[in-house]
Chains A and B, each alone.
Chain A
């Protein structure tokens, strides 16, 4: 089968790859580009572990064909910390013990960052609903929600 050639930007850098027509973006990120921070918990869009930003929209990369990403801008968890500094969401997840096994954490980081960029001061309810597509089986969500809201406060300079 002939592969398709795709040109994208990944975490700010130009990036080209070859993919099969049926391959999904999470597969390419993980197994071609070695960006294994994007996790696959279900590959059916139900768990959110593969969350990435695609042209500024929060999506499940398991529900995007790699071929669709032509010309698009992709941001993964590997691009969240910049210049050797953690994003406040990452820092607060650590401080609040907002991770146990950590496999949902990359998806939570990407999704929570997207929330705070759209809504700098979310309520607990808004935070919970925004993150409803990011399943966590370890924490019961309590410390994750506290961490994300605290990250918001930090970003607001509080």
Chain B
């Protein structure tokens, strides 16, 4: 799409918040999630997991397990092709199969506690679990390393003997636990610091956390006599599951059909596979459908948590508030295999600010912890938190209001961020002004209370999507995509289709269909679905309008140019100029011919056959999102307990297709960030065993922890999208952490940057013991 495209600004459906089409099934319990399918003849898979954080697998003996009545099949890495060095072709992000396959089933070595080493299929879940205990795995236990600094030491236990740090010149001669290194310079930071009147440098630690979706991973796999695989699972990307399952098992993609169930949360965590290839292999071997449902404990121990990061940020400013230099040095933990979003952290952490001199460097560190995976704006929250904490301190020290300080330095159109692509119109300043004007920003703070402000950025993805539309004989519309609906996307697809076709929202039935029923779709992630899959829906709907005009023109024996489509009807133009035709204002001339969608659909059999339209695209029109949060807290100085009093989010959505669900993304992301700032963290014991593998001690926020989350949707249209859409799903998790941290530090008079700000840590800081 070109930037001279005209962005639509007047809408009939887009911008309203109707009840979502899949809502009824979800409030009545009828909607089918991952674990809700049971097939005839189904048996149950159970995964054997490593009791060690680092060990060599010497042997696996299934003989005792196989003696248990009801055990039908076993599996280990022996059942999978050996992964090579090659990148997985066609994967959404660059990854090597050798970094993915061992997470499904360890090969030779286990690199974290609870890594999968074997699996059993049996007739009941209880028998499968009992049999799993009878699998004898002989290990040679190796020394392990959990801490990033310890992992970088010269004599640290080495996870991968073939890991030579990428991005270092000259290439290192010795292997190490540093997977990658990146340096991103702009201008001259040292010259920039020399110009500064005030320089502040802080080290900010953000802990390992988890996406903590409420629905555990679950799947059912079936294999027929011809080796065709039918896989049902909860996922953000059924096509991604098809690809990874094929790569990991060696079964061709053409033999695998994936149906995405309804999905009970993902936040990035369900953009990969854990159990699906195992279920497929067990189903083939057992000759029966195999169901695997992860326990909550397994989800915490053995899915993909989120990188902890330590970032040292140094920023210089002049007395008048102008930023002169930003230096950011990030260490990001990737767990056992390289998979972190360190690049995003390095590239995006400074994106909200105009600054001529930036140096951002990052290192990705391997440790004996679970392989990390994506969580909402992967990599960015850790980096932005560090930058925002220093920005706040600068504002305090300079005596400038923290919103004004940011307004002064905020990026706008034509500014060039570190990643090099100049911004088109962006809404950061609008967001800042909106929070400044909000009543919450005027609220008086009492004793032990504090206020924090933070900005954030996320790039947003485009990628590939397909949509298809079928018209029923009575004029109904089926809109199909391959993008799982994780937060109301069926509603936004239906709104956009209704907008193009000029029909009531209720006329459109949106569906998410399996990988054989629609063209390729990248996963629901990267804040891309409304933009890219929605873009495919808009294109398919436009093609359908074209076809409908053609059919009407043929039946009236006029040229297609003489037929316009409006209000869900084909109308003969009768010499009226297009500009005079305003939707909904009944411009039809007396005697002009009209055919409704229903009439055209009823006649379709005689005018050329069924009415359908398909569109596929690779979207390159994504535009970044900015957000600003303001958080007020009260700290109990005797216990270190933090209460969130008020929380305000402003975000540039470009165009909010379904504003209520845009607000929902903002509120949900805010609360995830609040949780990460205050209480969420992975706690490992010294053996590398996760000590809080459950919702009791992995403390996500509960309803009583929170105030209402006030939202302000800013709409600075994305100039490259027909409706102005940006992505909205990810940026909301970026600003809450620094906003909370700064509010707490102001309330408590502390400078605590070791997250989470859990009560014992905060009280120690208050009492001067930190």
Q: Do chains A and B touch in the complex (CB under 8 A)?
A: yes
Interface, chain A (partner B; CB < 8 A)? 20, 22, 30-31, 34-44, 46-47, 49, 76-78, 80-81, 86, 90, 93-97, 99-106, 109, 124-125, 127-129, 131-146
Known A-B contacts A43-B295, A102-B26; A145 and B703 likewise in contact (beta carbons under 8 Å): yes
Q: How large is the interface on B (under 10, 10 to 19, 20 to 34, 35 or more residues)?
A: 35 or more
Would B694 and A97 count as touching, CB distance under 8 A?
A: no
Would A99 and B23 count as touching, CB distance under 8 A?
A: yes
Residues of B within 8 A of A142 (CB): 667, 706, 708-709
Would A77 and B28 count as touching, CB distance under 8 A?
A: yes
Annotate B1-29 by CB proximity to A: 1 below 8 A, 0 otherwise: 00000000000000001011011101111
- For B28, give its contact among A90, A125, A145 (CB under 8 Å): A90
Would B486 and A136 count as touching, CB distance under 8 A?
A: no
Majority DSSP secondary structure for residues of A touching B: loop
Would B696 and A44 count as touching, CB distance under 8 A?
A: yes
Annotate B529-569 by CB proximity to A: 1 below 8 A, 0 otherwise: 00000000000000000000000000000000000000000
Would A76 and B29 count as touching, CB distance under 8 A?
A: yes
**In the assembled complex, B63 has its CB within 8 A of some CB on chain A:** no
Would B27 and A86 count as touching, CB distance under 8 A?
A: yes
A145 vs B695: C-alpha distance when bound (angstroms): 21
Would B29 and A37 count as touching, CB distance under 8 A?
A: yes
Question: Could you show 14 A-B contacts with beta carbons less than 8 Å apart?
Answer: A41-B214, A80-B28, A95-B19, A97-B664, A100-B487, A101-B486, A101-B487, A103-B214, A132-B704, A135-B700, A137-B265, A139-B667, A143-B660, A145-B703
Would A103 and B17 count as touching, CB distance under 8 A?
A: no
Would B214 and A101 count as touching, CB distance under 8 A?
A: yes
Residues of B within 8 A of A100 (CB): 265, 486-488, 661, 664-665, 668
Residues of A within 8 A of B658 (CB): 97
Tell me the B485-514 residues at the A interface (CB within 8 Å).
486-488
A104 vs B213: C-alpha distance when bound (angstroms): 10
A124 vs B703: C-alpha distance when bound (angstroms): 10
**In the assembled complex, B216 has its CB within 8 A of some CB on chain A:** yes
A141 vs B708: C-alpha distance when bound (angstroms): 8
Residues of A within 8 A of B29 (CB): 35-38, 76-78, 106, 109
Would A143 and B664 count as touching, CB distance under 8 A?
A: yes
Residues of B within 8 A of A140 (CB): 664, 667-672, 701, 706, 709
Name the CB-closest residue of A to B674: A140
Residues of A within 8 A of B183 (CB): none
Known A-B contacts A43-B295, A138-B668, A143-B660; A102 and B35 likewise in contact (beta carbons under 8 Å): no
A101 vs B33: C-alpha distance when bound (angstroms): 10
Tell me the B424-438 residues at the A interface (CB within 8 Å).
none
Would B27 and A93 count as touching, CB distance under 8 A?
A: yes
A128 vs B701: C-alpha distance when bound (angstroms): 12
Name the CB-closest residue of A to B27: A90
Interface, chain B (partner A; CB < 8 A)? 17, 19-20, 22-24, 26-33, 35-36, 38, 126, 211-216, 262-267, 293, 295-296, 486-488, 658, 660-661, 663-665, 667-672, 694-696, 700-704, 706, 708-709
A51 vs B35: C-alpha distance when bound (angstroms): 17
Would A139 and B668 count as touching, CB distance under 8 A?
A: yes
A135 vs B709: C-alpha distance when bound (angstroms): 17
Residues of A within 8 A of B486 (CB): 100-101
Chain B nearest Cβ from A106, distance in angstroms: 5
Known A-B contacts A43-B296, A94-B20; A37 and B30 likewise in contact (beta carbons under 8 Å): yes
Would B214 and A47 count as touching, CB distance under 8 A?
A: yes
Name the CB-closest residue of B to A32: B38
A35 vs B722: C-alpha distance when bound (angstroms): 44
Residues of B within 8 A of A95 (CB): 19
Nearest 6 CB-CB pairs, A to B? A37-B29, A103-B264, A102-B26, A140-B671, A140-B667, A46-B695
Chain B nearest Cβ from A113, distance in angstroms: 11
A137 vs B708: C-alpha distance when bound (angstroms): 15
Would A41 and B216 count as touching, CB distance under 8 A?
A: yes
- For A102, give its contact among B17, B262, B660, B669 (CB under 8 Å): B262
Would B671 and A105 count as touching, CB distance under 8 A?
A: no
